[in-house]
Amino acid sequence: MHDHEISTKFTVFDSSKELSIAEQKLLETAIAIRDSAYAPYSGFLVGASVLMQNGDVFSGNNQENAAYPSGICAERVAIWSAMAALPKGRIKKIFISARSEKTLVDRPVAPCGACRQAIAEYETKQDENIEIFFTGETGKIVKANSIKDLLPWMFDNSMLS
Catalytic positions: 75
Provide the β-strand partners of residue 131: 93
* Alpha-carbon torsion angle 157, 96, 47, 81, nearest 10: -30
DSSP codes, 91-126: EEEEEEEEEESSS---S-----HHHHHHHHHHHHHH
DSSP state of 86: -
Contact 48, 61 (CB under 8 A): yes
